[in-house]
Amino acid sequence: MYLVTGATGNVGSEVVSALRAGGHPVRAVVRDPGTAHLAAGTELVAGDLDAPETLVPLLDGVEGVFLLPGYRGNAELLAAAARAGVARVVQLSGGSAGSRDTSNAVTAMMAGAEDLVAASGLPATILRPASFMSNTFRWLPQLRAGDELRLQFAGIRTAVIDPADIGAVAAAALVGAEHSGRVYTLSGPQPLSAGEQVEILAAELARPLHVVALSDDESYAEMLTQMPASYADAFMNFYAHGGLDESAVLPTVFDITGRTPGDYTSWVHANKDALTAQN
């Protein structure tokens, strides 16, 4: 049995799908089992990573745990997992964690999650993916409003990754002991700027989309309306000041799964219904 936290999220749902495709039993942690729609045969259970008491009873018979970063209950869950004899943990992290720059709020959160796993003594695999292709969904309000997309850091290239590829790597690491103790940095097959992603969106959706590239000052002001200042500062460090480079195309997904990482055009095509939905 494998316990997947954040199971309805962009990555967690793909971990569930990959495990179930391999015939593995999955216990998926969701907020509301009555509304969750996941791969057939998945055991849906209610739980909250900020309330570890809701998760500890779910560890019975669990071989491996997929864990999201940054939640208050992670330390207690990991301690309980160690007591329960869980064999492996896969911790989702981020590319900046390796810098250990704790002055950056996002890096501090990711590095802290990795440190908790290390302190637990559990065999673990750390995944540091590039930005997700599914971040495109953040543009949905603008796509629904018209053909103009006002974008932050529109010229920064990132080898964006399909969450399905992250899920496939996570599933391999959960079921294969040979991945324990490893830190894997994951990328998609091509570095793309946000502006270049919009060009692909326009072609796939047959719409005359155009980009308005926000200045760094405009980007910062907009982020302050969406997140705490410490996180806005972190993203400014990453993208305005060059603190994070996710442009490298890496072979990791293929090396672990044997499959070629999905490209952005294919991801848009597969998610066309969601990208054209009006509500």
> Which of these, 126, 127, 128, 124, lies nearest to 180 by C-alpha position?
124
Regarding pTM above 0.75, the answer is yes
Tell me the C-alpha distance between 59 and 55, whole Å: 7
Mean pLDDT of 140-150: 95
Query: Under a CB-based contact definition with an 8 Å cutoff, are residues 214 and 222 in contact?
Result: yes
C-alpha closest to that of 262 among 125, 159, 158, 135: 159
Q: What proportion of the chain, given as a percentage, has pLDDT over 90?
A: 96
Residue 232 banded pLDDT, cuts 50, 70, 90 = very high
Q: What is the pLDDT of residue 190?
A: 97
pLDDT tens digits, 69-128: 999 889 999 999 999 999 999 999 999 999 999 999 999 999 999 999 999 999 999 999
**Domain range 2-132+162-187+249-261, CATH class:** alpha beta
CA–CA dist 25, 235 (Å, integer)? 38
SS3 at position 252: helix
C-alpha to C-alpha distance for 89 and 164, rounded to whole angstroms: 19
